[in-house]
Chain A
Amino acid sequence: GDSVTQMEGPVTLSEEAFLTINCTYTATGYPSLFWYVQYPGEGLQLLLKATKADDKGSNKGFEATYRKETTSFHLEKGSVQVSDSAVYFCALIDNDMRFGAGTRLTVKP
């Protein structure tokens, strides 16, 4: 069945560091891919999405490119801020929605 695998956390970075959170997927069809963010004490919010191969989703300085050849959708940000501290979930929709296990990011000043 469909599945999402993302890098285990926690990830701790200093402010202004470069961020990469890896995400790979397995799907039988042509899924849409998503990154959700969960700030402390809140539900999940859609961060960005891509619906077909080679699409790049971007929002709030975060980017991810849908790579069909490597079945990947890695999340990147060039310069993280303390306010980016959260849990990040990679997800796909094919026949239904599947989530990765989540990666906790802590950014220190």
Chain B
Amino acid sequence: DVKVTQSSRYLVKRTGEKVFLECVQDMDHENMFWYRQDPGLGLRLIYFSYDVKMKEKGDIPEGYSVSREKKERFSLILESASTNQTSMYLCASSFAVGPRYTFGSGTRLTVV
């Protein structure tokens, strides 16, 4: 089975801190995605990547950046965390062709 591993299940950070959320997949998927999940809003796409060193903005990229230096790892960076970035963050990956996504277990981030 494909595994998508997110490094932390729970994080608490202070306003203004730089925050790194890490995601690793082990099935050589080309595509990787970062979503945030908020009650009543479902999943919203922050950034995605179709290849190493490649990134594309999703629907809500403001306040975030990403890094994909290796195919298996996709990092989400909050340059200066704010309280409105308190959320559940979900990483996903997929092959370039084919509609099946595999999700990680999520990181619940609280910014205080």
Contacts and interface: CB of A to CB of B under 8 A. Distances in A.
Contacts of B41: 101
A89 interface: yes
Interface in A54-109: 89, 93, 96-97, 99-102
Interface residues of A, number: 20
Contact of A43 (B42, B45, B103): B103
A42 B99 contact: no
A17 interface: no
B51 to A, nearest CB: 16
Nearest to A97: B101
Given A32-B99, A93-B99, A42 B45 contact: no
Given A34-B99, A49-B99, A93-B99, A44 B90 contact: yes
Contact of A42 (B33, B102, B106): B106
Given A42-B105, A43-B90, A99 B43 contact: yes
Nearest to A6: B42
B4 interface: yes
A46 B100 contact: yes
Interface of A: 4, 32, 34, 36, 41-46, 49, 51, 89, 93, 96-97, 99-102
Interface of B: 4, 9, 33, 35, 37, 40-43, 45, 90, 92, 99-106
